[in-house]
């Protein structure tokens, strides 16, 4: 997934949805990596250990891809991430899991409940778009995956209980991260075997991946069961995406889909968040990164994906991501 560049090692996984035109992903800051860094700072008597250490946040560069994400986090938040025009930064709190559905370009507005232009470069509470009650039901459904509900079945609808559950869940996951830090520190001072630390780290990762997979499946099922807004579905979106990937000029693309250039611009902004030229730049960037990660040299990548030359590719990568292509390609997300 060419969306992030590394600060601390994340636990990230993704797969294609079997129910929707989207990618399902899960992520969190690796508590074991944070723990080991906390020990390193403690061993060095680093006065900045409290800032960005085991209790800090894991920060990642998120690249524009033309998609819209619906994201749930285990601290109880549900947000919609709109289509970005340039790289942004995501901050992952320790002990919090993030589960998202990233819709393919053009398919997000009907699921999110707003046109893409209104969501562009923004992060919005889902309740603002769906309404409080539908968003709360989805949050309760996801929370129930990892925490048992009361036998009466009313826990999810009780605001006091729901708040308590959210706080309990967050406290438990944070406690696990703190415990792991203590284990690493004990190992650093020789009171616990390194093998025990490795075993505990592997067990923690496995448990977190299993929980995240269940939450992701529940989010996918819930969104697949929800009827999309027909007024926000544009049947021309796939053809526009295909035309931009074929490097068609705007006038030619407009003719291909049966629109004037002005109509194409208006439809593109509603479906993707920006016009066809910006969409083409963003999709070409993603295509280039995919080709580069397959092992092709940057000069070959530029030729394969429609750039004038390698210098053109370098300028576009820098403009859209804020860093060089070499910097982006040094990070391979863990699986």
pLDDT at residue 263 greater than cutoff 90:
yes
Tokens of 198: 């490795």
Q: Model-level pTM?
A: 0.77
| 6 φ/ψ angles, rounded to the nearest 5 degrees | -80, 140
Q: At what angle do helices 237-245 and 261-272 cross, to 10 degrees?
A: 100
pLDDT at 60: 83
- Greater pLDDT, 189 or 217: 217
For Cα atoms 50, 51, 56, give the angle at the middle one, nearest 5 degrees.
95
- Report the alpha-carbon distance of residue 253 to residue 236 in Å, rounded: 11
pLDDT at 264: 98
> What is the per-residue DSSP string for 85-128?
SS-EEEEEPTT--EEEEEEPTTTHHHHHTS-HHHHTT-EEEHHH
- Report the alpha-carbon distance of residue 188 to residue 190 in Å, rounded: 6
- Report the alpha-carbon distance of residue 142 to residue 148 in Å, rounded: 11
Q: What are the domain boundaries of the chain?
A: 10-229, 234-329
Topology, domain 234-329: Arc Repressor Mutant, subunit A (1.10.10)
- Report the alpha-carbon distance of residue 226 to residue 210 in Å, rounded: 25
**β-strand partners of 20:** none
pLDDT at residue 43 greater than cutoff 60:
no
Residue 21 in contact with residue 312, Cβ under 8 Å? no
Parallel, antiparallel, or unpaired for β 68-73 and 78-81? antiparallel
- Greater pLDDT, 156 or 127: 127
Per-residue model confidence as pLDDT tens digits over 130-188:
999 999 999 999 999 877 544 444 444 455 445 544 554 455 455 555 555 554 555 55
Per-residue model confidence as pLDDT tens digits over 98-116:
999 999 999 999 999 999 9
Q: Which of 35-44, 110-119, 227-236, 249-258 has the lowest mean pLDDT?
A: 35-44
- Greater pLDDT, 294 or 92: 294
pLDDT at 240: 97
pLDDT at 35: 44
- Grade residue 90 by pLDDT with cuts at 50, 70 and 90: confident
Per-residue model confidence as pLDDT tens digits over 194-229:
555 556 667 777 778 888 999 999 999 999 999 999
């Amino acid at each position: 997934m060419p969306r992030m560049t590394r600060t601390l090692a994340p636990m990230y996984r993704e797969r294609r949805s079997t129910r929707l035109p989207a990618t399902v992903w899960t992520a969190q800051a690796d508590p074991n990596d944070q723990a080991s860094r906390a020990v390193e700072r403690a061993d060095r008597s680093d006065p900045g250990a409290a800032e960005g250490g085991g209790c800090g946040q894991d920060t990642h560069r998120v690249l524009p891809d033309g998609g819209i994400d619906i994201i749930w986090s285990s601290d109880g938040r549900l947000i919609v991430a709109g289509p970005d025009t340039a790289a942004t930064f995501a901050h992952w709190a320790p002990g919090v899991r993030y589960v998202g559905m990233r819709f393919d370009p053009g398919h997000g507005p009907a699921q999110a409940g707003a046109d893409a232009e209104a969501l562009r470069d923004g992060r919005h509470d889902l309740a603002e778009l769906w309404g409080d009650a539908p968003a709360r039901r989805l949050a309760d459904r996801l929370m129930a995956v990892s925490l048992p509900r009361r036998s009466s079945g009313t826990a999810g609808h009780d605001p006091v209980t729901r708040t308590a559950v959210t706080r309990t869940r967050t406290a438990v996951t944070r406690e696990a991260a703190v415990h792991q830090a203590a284990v690493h520190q004990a190992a650093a001072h020789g009171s616990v075997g390194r093998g025990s630390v490795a075993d505990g780290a592997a067990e923690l990762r496995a448990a977190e991946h299993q929980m995240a997979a269940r939450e992701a499946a529940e989010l996918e099922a819930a969104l697949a069961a929800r009827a999309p807004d027909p007024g926000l579905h544009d049947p021309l979106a796939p053809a526009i995406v295909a035309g931009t990937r074929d490097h068609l000029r705007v006038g030619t693309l407009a003719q291909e889909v049966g629109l004037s250039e002005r109509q194409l611009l208006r439809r593109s902004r509603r479906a993707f968040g920006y016009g066809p030229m910006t969409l083409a730049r963003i999709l070409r960037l993603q295509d280039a990164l995919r080709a580069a990660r397959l092992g092709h040299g940057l000069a070959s990548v530029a030729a394969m994906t429609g750039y004038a030359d390698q210098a053109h590719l370098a300028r576009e990568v820098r403009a859209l991501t804020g860093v060089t292509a070499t910097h982006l390609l040094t990070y391979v997300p863990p699986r």
